[in-house]
Amino acid sequence: MIKVGIVGGTGYTGVELLRLLAQHPEAQVVAITSRKEAGMPVADMYPSLRGRVDLAFVTPDEARLTECDVVFFATPHGVAMSQARELLAAGVKLIDLAADFRLKDVSEFERWYGMPHACPDILAEAVYGLPELNREAIRRARVIGNPGCYPTSVQLGFAPLLRTPGLVDAAHLIANCASGVSGAGRKAEVHTLLAEASDNFKAYGVKGHRHGPEINQQLRQIAGVPAGSPEVNCLFVPHLIPAIRGIHSTLYARLTPQGQAADLQGLFEEFYRNEPFVDVMPPGSAPETRSVRASNFVRIAVHKPMPDLAMVLVVEDNLTKGASGQAVQCMNLMFGLEETVGLLQVPVLP
C-alpha cells in the first residue's frame, strides 16, 4: 500500500483527492490536514465520505507526513515549496497541485505569483505532471508540478498540431477557455457567489492570466522550440461559466498549406491512439462538459471550419483531469502502477 498524505484537505481538490483515493486499491490516506478544522472528522465535513474515510483533519506540521510515501499539496501557491525540502529529505515524494513547480523560469514564477521562490534547486529537478506528454520523466520523478486546469486542456488540444512541424502558424494560436466556479476553490469570494456567477457569462484575466506563461512554456516544449521563443505563442482568454465543474476550451490555429492538406481527424486519432484518458470524438462532434463530469477523461473534437483554420474543442473536469485525477495518474506512474488504477470512473450524468 502507498501511504499518502494530503495537505489542504478541506478544499475542493483535497476532497476530490480523497474521493479518488478512497476507491484506490493500492493507496491509503494516512494523514490529511487543515489549519482551521484540525480535530474534526473528515466525514463530518464531507458526509459523502462517511464509511470510506475514517480520519480527522490534523495540522500541516503533522509528523505523520514525513512517514508517508507521497504527499499531495492541495493548497494555495507557495505552501508546497515551503515544506518540500524537509519532505524530500525524509524520502517522501511530492505532488503539488498548485503552481510552485510548474514554471521553470524562476523570474517568471516570481512575476506571476508575486512571491520569491523558496527552492529553485528543487524547481529545477521537478517534473511537469502531464502524463500524455511527459510519461517517462514522471515515472522517475520525486517532485511533480501538477499542471494547471486550463493548461491541461490547451496542451492536449494543441499537441497533435504542434508535434508535427509546419502544420500551423504556431506564433498566433488562440485558446478561449471557460471554467465552472469550482475552479476558483472553496474559499469565500464575491465573484463566486450564486448571485454573481449564476445566469452570467464573462471573460476574466483579459490583461493576462498566470496560466498564459504556463501554456506558452509547455507549447514551446511540445513544438521543440527554445524556451521563450516567439515562434510559438498562444493568446489565452479564460471565462467563468455558471456551472460547478467543467472546462470547455475552444482552440484556434491557422493552417499552413501543409496543414490544409493534412488529415486532421486521422492525425488526432493516431496521436491519442494508446491514451486511456483521451477520447478523440468522431468528425463533427461538439463535446459537452457533462460528458466528462467527475471523471479523468478528456474529450476532443477537431474541426476545419475554414480551409485554412483548425478548431479544436476540448472538455475536461477541472477538479479531476484538471487537478486531482491527474495527480493520482502521476502517483500511479511514480509508484510503478498501471496508470489507470482507481481512475476509470464513468462520468456522472446528468
Ligand X SMILES: NC(=O)C1=CN([C@@H]2O[C@H](COP(=O)(O)OP(=O)(O)OC[C@H]3O[C@@H](n4cnc5c(N)ncnc54)[C@H](OP(=O)(O)O)[C@@H]3O)[C@@H](O)[C@H]2O)C=CC1
Contact predicate 10/34, CB 8 Å: yes
| Beta carbon nearer to ligand X2W, 219 or 280 | 219
How many other CB atoms are found less than 10 A from the CB of residue 101? 29
Q: Is 7 in the site for ligand X (CB under 6 A)?
A: yes
Distance CA 76, CA 181 (A): 16
Is 319 a binding residue for ligand X by CB under 6 A? The answer is yes
Alpha carbon distance 313, 265 (integer Å)? 12
Quick check: is 149 catalytic?
A: yes
Of residues 76, 61, 75, the one with CA closest to residue 31: 61
Query: Quick one: 149 or 267, whose CB is closer to ligand X?
Result: 149
How near is the Cβ of 31 to ligand X at its closest, in Å?
13
User: CB 135: neighbour CB atoms within 10 A?
Assistant: 14
Q: Which residues contact 286 (CB under 8 A, 6 or more apart)?
A: 301, 313
Q: Which of 68, 119, 149, 234 is the catalytic position?
A: 149
Q: Which position among 179, 217, 289, 295 is part of the footprint of ligand X2W (CB under 6 A)?
A: 179
> If binding is defined by CB under 6 A, does position 320 make contact with ligand X?
no
Cβ contact 65:5 at 8 Å: yes
Task: Give the type of residue at 118.
Answer: A
Count CB atoms within 10 A of the CB of residue 350. 4
Q: Is residue 212 close enough to count as binding ligand X by CB under 6 A?
A: no
| Residue 244 engages ligand X2W in binding (rule: CB under 6 A) | no
* The only residue of 8, 148, 160, 246 in contact with ligand X2W, by rule CB under 6 A: 148
Q: Quick one: what does residue 238 bind among ligand X2W, ligand X, none, with the CB cut-off 5 to 8 Å set by partner type?
A: ligand X2W
- Closest to ligand X by CB, 46 vs 335, is 46
Q: Hey, what amino acid is at 21?
A: L
Task: Tell me the residue nearest to ligand X as measured from the CB.
Answer: 11
Q: Binding of ligand X2W at residue 213 (CB under 6 A)?
A: no
Q: Least CB distance from residue 285 to ligand X, whole Å? A: 24
Q: Which three cell numbers stand for residue 45?
A: 465535513
Residue that has been written with the C-alpha cell 477557455 in this structure:
177
> Which residues bind to ligand X2W, rule: CB under 6 A?
98-99, 148-149, 179, 183-184, 211, 238, 240
Which residues contribute to the site for ligand X (CB under 6 A)?
7-14, 34-37, 60, 74-77, 79, 97-98, 148-149, 182-183, 185-187, 318-319, 322-323
By annotation, the residues acting in catalysis are: 149
